Amino acid sequence: MDFARLAELGKNGVLLLMADSTNVERPGYTMSERTVGDTFEEIFMNAKSRILVATFASNVHRVQQVINASVKFGRKVSICGRSMVNVVRVAMSLGYLNVPEGVIVDIDNIDKYPSENLVIITTGSQGEPMSALSRMAASEHKKVEIVPGDLVIISANPIPGNEKFVSKVINDLFKRGAEVIYETLAEIHVSGHASQEELKLIHSLVKPKFFLPVHGEYRHLKKHANLAHKLGMPMEKIFIMDIGKVLELTEDTAKINGNVASGKVLVDGLGVGDVGNIVLRDRKHLSQDGLIVVVITLEGESGNVVAGPDIISRGFVYVRESENLMEEVKEVTKSALIKCEEKKKNDWSSKKNIIKDTLRDYLYEKTKRKPMILPIIMEV
């Protein structure tokens, strides 16, 4: 850390400090990136097969360490994953990545090189379902096929909540015969987040008027707030925010003031953000319990049943194997129509509601399921 710069900012006066909370639970200091470079060199020196390294595309320094180890041990490097390709291209053009001529080869040409002379840097260290590494593990990647003997290094910690995805990818890689090295087996990742002692240093040097813990789950934000309080900041000057809340600041005050629209924006076909809660609820209902359509034809003036009721089932039961149930549903529908006549409910809306309610109760009693029921009444 640049302690001098932090101290200078603190001396000039800081209104609000917003600090990363991800590693607030970890005591001590975060290790240096240098340890990762040493571990890579040791692994590359002993490896006799193709190596695949999965890391965050944004971690340019880590990519540089992989390239350095590859150059040292005479391996070509191929970049895989759209975000990784973009970051490497931009980092090289701006001079942030130092790559000797001829080291990087196109992913389409990897078959031209012996596997023991090849390193593939890829995205997917968090087990994201559509990432390059996940598709390789599932044997769905167009360019890279995992073969027995491949060495896969996952150079990242699972972000809280992603553990299940990462475990699935590791298991799938082992099933394909690959050897997988992940953080619990070797020092192949150093967190990019400050631990407790470093956070204490930042608070002590910056000395802000107000504090807003950011980046982490609620438990991390709360523990970071407690850490700031223990260092002497009053709790009323610490703000734990929810997404969408507005923090209003002046030179001397800070207060939560209102909300802005936030959260997930759903994209559905050509529509963006136009899928409402009711539509989502209906889709969830359909996906879980299916649909029953009841079609009835009534005679216009008398209201007598001319045809039906016909029952159509989608995603609820297979009609041919549930003929008895379908017959019973027809009878229940007829009895619901008789009930409408007795109650003098002759408008379509009332009839539909009574059919729905009667069938819902009957089907739940029989199957313990609640399909969506759609009565259709036609008049002739």
The Cα–Cα gap between 38 and 262 comes to: 43
Please spell the DSSP secondary structure of 123-147, one letter per residue. S-TT--TTSHHHHHHTT--SS----
Q: Which residues contact 88 (CB under 8 A, 6 or more apart)?
A: 63, 79, 97, 104, 121
Q: How open is the CA angle 144-154-224, to the nearest 5 degrees?
A: 140
Residue 242 a catalytic site member: no
Please spell the DSSP secondary structure of 335-376, one letter per residue. HHHHHHHHTT--SHHHHHHHHHHHHHHHHHHHHS---EEEEE
Residues 326/318, Cβ–Cβ less than 8 Å:
no
Residue 193 a catalytic site member: yes
Tokens 């896969």, located at residue: 152
Q: Which pair of structure tokens corresponds to residue 324?
A: 């008895």
Active-site residue, from 141, 193, 203, 224: 193
Q: How many CA atoms lie within 13 A of 132 on its CB side?
A: 25
Active-site residue, from 20, 61, 229, 310: 20
Residues recognised as catalytic = 20, 193
